[in-house]
Amino acid sequence: MSTPIPTSAELEGEHTLVLRWSDGRTLWYALDDLRANCPCAPCNPEPGAPHAPRAAFDGIRLNSLDEVGTYALSLKFSDGHSTGIYTYERLLACGHPPGAVPPPDMPANFEV
Instruction: Name the site residues for Zn ion (rule: CB under 5 A).
Output: 38, 40, 43, 84
- Do 8 and 21 form a contact (C-beta atoms < 8 A)? no
* Cβ-based nearer residue to Zn ion, 2 or 64: 64
Nearest distance in Å: CB 20, Zn ion: 25
Q: How far is the CB of 94 from Zn ion (least distance, A)?
A: 15
Which CB atom, from 21 or from 72, has the smaller least distance to Zn ion?
A: 72
Question: 2 forms bridges with which residues in the sheet?
Answer: none
Q: How far is the CB of 45 from Zn ion (least distance, A)?
A: 10
48 close to 58: Cβ distance less than 8 angstroms: no
61 vs 19: CA distance, rounded Å = 16
- Is the separation of the CB atoms in 71 and 62 below 8 Å? no
Using the minimum distance from each CB to Zn ion, give the nearer residue, 38 or 92: 38
